[in-house]
Structure 1
Amino acid sequence: MNQRGRNWGGNLTYGVREVRLPTGLEELQELVATTPRLRPLGTRHSFNGLADTSAVHVTLEAMEQFVKVDDVSATARVSAWSTYGHIAPTLHDHGFALPNLASLPHISVAGACATATHGSGVRRRNLAAAVSAMEFVDGTGELVTVSRADDPDIFAGCVVHLGALGVVTALTLDLVPAQPVHQRAYVNLSRSALAANLAEILAGADSVSCFTRWQGDVVETVLHKDMRDPADDPTELFGAPRATRPRHPILGLSTEPVTQQLGCPGPWHERLPHFRLGHTPSAGKEIQSEWFVDRRDAADALEALWKAGPDLDEALQVSEIRTIAADDLWLSPMHERDVLALHFTWILDQPVVDRAVERVEDVLAPFDAVPHWGKVSHADRDVYASRYDHLDDFTGLAERFDPEHRFRNTFLDDLLG
């Protein structure tokens, strides 16, 4: 199948010369074993060259999708190409939930975990932290299974893998009991109120997201997603009143795609994401960047961004402030530290965005900020090496599982050498 594809946001045209869609495991294994260079491709939600290749893309969308729940162990084995929106209703029907979800349910489980994609919550870890076992076809065409229980020496290095170890076919995810979640929006929180009450605001619900354009000294929207009784929600948040109608994170856009926000409890998978399945999330045509700083630096990092706000106005659609709890995964930006996540939804104009990205990276450099693996930054290997103590260990894993560098591309060649 000859095809040139684009990523979800529209800022990247892949250099791929061929796309292959194996229909079964044996076909996938043969494809990997006989193809000199290839990259797995999920739901195309990366905004940089991580998923790109000038050779062959392999996608598993023609293979069987499955969700197999084990009620006794409270785990689910799921097909890697499945999206969170696909697997969540089945988990819910069994009385279970995932510990966290990202802002949109449209992304594949494998791609999200490979890049340490996340939701929000001071006690909630990223999506990869729920993985307890992983199955993938390595660079020799062999099917490999690694698990937290059986492979403790390498498991933490395999989960956030950037597609460098192989093509993931299935993941086993830890589950928690399903509980109703409701969502509430607060509007126009002042910059001074945020600064004076930052820790309390970020911990004010199970999941908290703050949206701002770094203009006018105001956070336009704060979303609370909570399992507590909606009757206990405050009527205002440090001077910011409750919203009386739904709000899109990017003000002015239709609210039809957003999940229910007015305090009505519902299934966890219909409240934790910002956007509903079947609708275009966010702006659709956009570029995204995100950086992570140690949560202890949160107040200073936010203040620095407020000061830089005028320099970002031309490029920015909206910025989101979230929190993620620490984990033990080697290439996770949350490795052994709680973080503040600073997300930027830019306009679809690469030169304008490049200038804004450079400004943000200058502002956040004193805080040793590390970028999201799948989003636009100017970070090079020196930056990654200074942030990830296990980068050399991961390079060794990549050599072990992909000795002929079948899964390499420009991004990984620069990162791993």
Structure 2
Amino acid sequence: MSLTTWAGNRTYAAARVHEPRTVEQVQEVVAAARHVRALGTRHCFNDLADTPHDLVRLDGLEPDVVLDERARTVTVTGGTRYGTLARALHPRGWALHNLASLPHISVAGAVATATHGSGDRSRNLASAVAGLDLVTADGSLLHLTRADADLAGAVVGLGALGVVVRVTLDVEPTYDVAQEVHTDLPWDAVLEHLDEVTGSADSVSLFTDWTGPAVRQVWRKTRVPVGGTYEPRTDLLGAVPATGPLHPLPGIDPVSCTPQLGVPGPWHERLPHFRLEFTPSNGDELQSEYLVPRAHAVDAIEALRALGPAVAPLLQVAEIRTVAADDLWLSSAYGGDRVGLHFTWLPRQPEVEALLPRIESALAPFGARPHWGKLFAAVGAPGSDPADLYPRLPDFRSLVTRLDPTATFANPFVTRHVLAS
């Protein structure tokens, strides 16, 4: 049976797919391969993880959750899903600082692409990485920690440095979250008070189709002490509090969504938009996302609203969210706070790909960085060097040359978007 991406929009071209059960078996596969790439939960929409040679799946490795309460860290195998990790941490009194919209994604895949979650004060998932175990080209195991200068370059590594078989993450004492939803927030209020809106909770998402006078829904997630109470807020610049649970897509049953209505509950059951128990999609979809500096957010939003008539016919829903700055070389939030402009598309890939250059042209003046794991046309303006957007990219290229001199982990995506200048 052919192996496809999670969305089914790409079939992997690999001649061989390996399913190791131990780290030692991963080492054997890599040592014997001429070219190899790693797969987690395949929640990727482009050819980042593909190769015509060998693919190694990490979802067969046991999670092997090792909690170090004294160091406030947890170590897991790279293919472990965040939802699985959360369910192991929470009963023991510990939590992660953030989660993405889907708890179904793998730890190694998420951090390698700077997948993020949301919040003015919340850095992306990769920022929690305190250490990595990489299987390098000769099959040996390289252990990196924050004491190593290379870690900041290796975390968002795009699979170009080796196969990440273990990840060590920071943890903190567990907490509850209350999630509430408002509808029909006027665009005028968003543009005039964007900082107030995104700062009104620990995590805020605005759902829109880029047309009409108002944002359809605003999801707000607020931290609450364990066992604490929360009084849902009715005021949000003219938006209307939802009277029942909602799905981001109009008219869709919210049964797959995490609990709302301001009822507090465990962090891992509120921070994602969707529950671990359910298939993480309303049918087939494609995704794109661009992250712009916070200072340019309003101008970038206005640029996309101007494209609304072209975007809306291909769109299921769009989401605006924020991410705090980090120091990871290829992170989309490297060097400054960012606003993410996310698109969940209908499964009409040729039409979406034809539209992306228009979106990227509109966002280019604002320094937009595309999400590495989603659909995009180019990193930066056509013909430009991606280093214009990522100041540490020359250092990353040097790191690739040093750790992978035989180009064992090279593939067309990395060559095209990262290594070529």
TM-score by length of 1: 0.96
8 A Cα contact 1:140 1:402, kept in partner: no
Letter in 2 for 1:187: T
Aligned to 2:395: 393
SS of 1:219's equivalent in the other structure is strand
Displacement of 1:383 after TM fit?
Answer: 5.0
TM-score (norm 2): 0.95
Answer whether contact 1:315 1:356 (CA < 8 A) is retained. Answer: no
Match of 2:167 in 1: 171
2:96 maps to which residue? 98
Q: Within 5 A, what are the aligned runs for 1:61-100? A: 61-100=59-98
Which region of structure 1 is more displaced relative to structure 2, 392-401 or 327-336? 392-401
Which residue number in structure 2 is paired with residue 37 of structure 1? 35
Matched-pair contact (CA < 8 Å) for 1:211–1:221: yes
**Secondary structure in structure 2 of the residue aligned to 1:311:** helix
Listed as ranges, the matches of 1:16-31 within 5 Å are 16-31=14-29
Question: What is the match of residue 416 of structure 1?
Answer: 419
Count of residue pairs brought into register by the alignment = 413
Equivalent position to 2:150, from 154, 163, 166:
154
> CA offsets, 1:360-415, max 9 Å, x none?
11211110111000010111583522101111111111122211111111101222
Shifted more, 339-348 versus 403-412: the winner is 403-412
**For the residues of structure 2 that align with 1:234 and 1:263, how far apart are their CA atoms?**
8
- Match of 1:107, as an amino acid? I
Counterpart in 2 of 1:256? 255
Please report how far the alpha carbon of residue 278 of structure 1 lies from its aligned counterpart in structure 2 after TM superposition.
Answer: 2.1
Displacement of 1:200: 0.2
Residue 61 (structure 1) shift: 2.5
TM-superposed deviation, 1:64: 2.4
Does 2:7 match 1:9? yes
- Once residues 45 and 315 of structure 1 are traced to their aligned partners in structure 2, the CA distance between those partners, rounded to angstroms, is 20
CA distance in 2, matches of 1:44, 1:183: 28
- How far off is 1:176 after superposition? 1.4
8 Å CA contact 1:132–1:147 kept in 2: the answer is yes
Residues of 1 paired with 2:166 and 2:325: CA distance?
24
Deviations 1:93-140 (A, max 9, x none): 121110110000000000000000011000000000000010010111
Give 4+ residue runs of structure 1 displaced > 6 Å after superposition.
none
Are 2:41 and 2:59, in contact at CA under 8 Å, matched by a contact in 1? Answer: no
- Higher deviation after alignment, 354-363 or 205-214: 354-363
1:50 is paired with a residue whose SS is coil
Q: What amino acid does structure 2 have at the position aligned with 1:65?
A: P
**After superposition, what is the alpha-carbon deviation per residue over 1:266-292, rounded to whole angstroms, capped at 9, x for unaligned?**
100000000001212243411100001
Q: Deviations over 1:322-349 (max 9, x none)?
A: 0000000000011110000000001101
CA positional deviation for 1:233: 3.5
Give 1:215 deviation, angstroms.
Answer: 1.1
CA separation in 2, counterparts of 1:30 and 1:12?
Answer: 27
- The CA RMSD measured in Å over matched residues stands at 1.3
Compared with structure 1, are the counterparts of its residues 230 and 249 closer, same or farther at alpha carbon in structure 2 (3 Å cutoff)? farther
5+ residue gaps, structure 1 = none
Distance in 1 (CA, whole Å) between partners of 2:53 and 2:42 is: 16
Deviations 1:214-246 (A, max 9, x none): 111211010000014664442131111110111
Instruction: Tell me if the contact between 2:63 and 2:77 (Cα under 8 Å) persists in the aligned partners.
Output: yes
Report SS of the residue matched to 2:322. strand
Per-residue deviation, 1:257: 0.6
For the 8 Å contact 2:231–2:262, the answer to whether it is kept is no
Q: How does 1:295-314 map to 2 (within 5 A)?
A: 295-314=294-313
Q: Distance in 2 between matches of 1:125 and 1:254?
A: 31
Contact 2:230 2:264 survives alignment (8 Å):
no
Q: Residue 125 of structure 2 aligns with which residue?
A: 127
Give me the whole-angstrom Cα distance separating, in 2, the residues matched to 1:292 and 1:60.
28
User: In the TM superposition, what is the alpha-carbon distance from 1:70 to its structure 2 partner?
Assistant: 1.1
> Does the 8 Å CA contact 1:370/1:384 hold for their aligned counterparts?
no
3-state DSSP of counterpart to 1:313: helix
Q: Which residue identity lines up with residue 71 of structure 1 in the other structure?
A: E
What's the CA shift for 1:354? 1.5
* 1:163-312 equivalent positions in 2, closer than 5 A: 163-228=159-224, 231-312=230-311
Unmatched tracts of structure 2, length 5 or more: none
Q: Which amino acid aligns with 1:416?
A: L
Partner amino acid for 1:322? Answer: R
Task: Report if the CA contact (8 A) 1:164-1:398 is conserved.
Answer: yes
8 Å contact 1:186–1:236 — kept in the other structure? no
1:15-41 per-position Cα deviation (integer Å, ceiling 9, x unaligned): 112110122222221211111011101
* 1:130-145 map, 5 Å: 130-145=128-143
Q: Is the 8 A contact 1:249 1:282 kept in 2?
A: no
Contact 2:178 2:230 in 1 (8 A): no
SS of residue paired to 1:382: coil
Identity %: 48
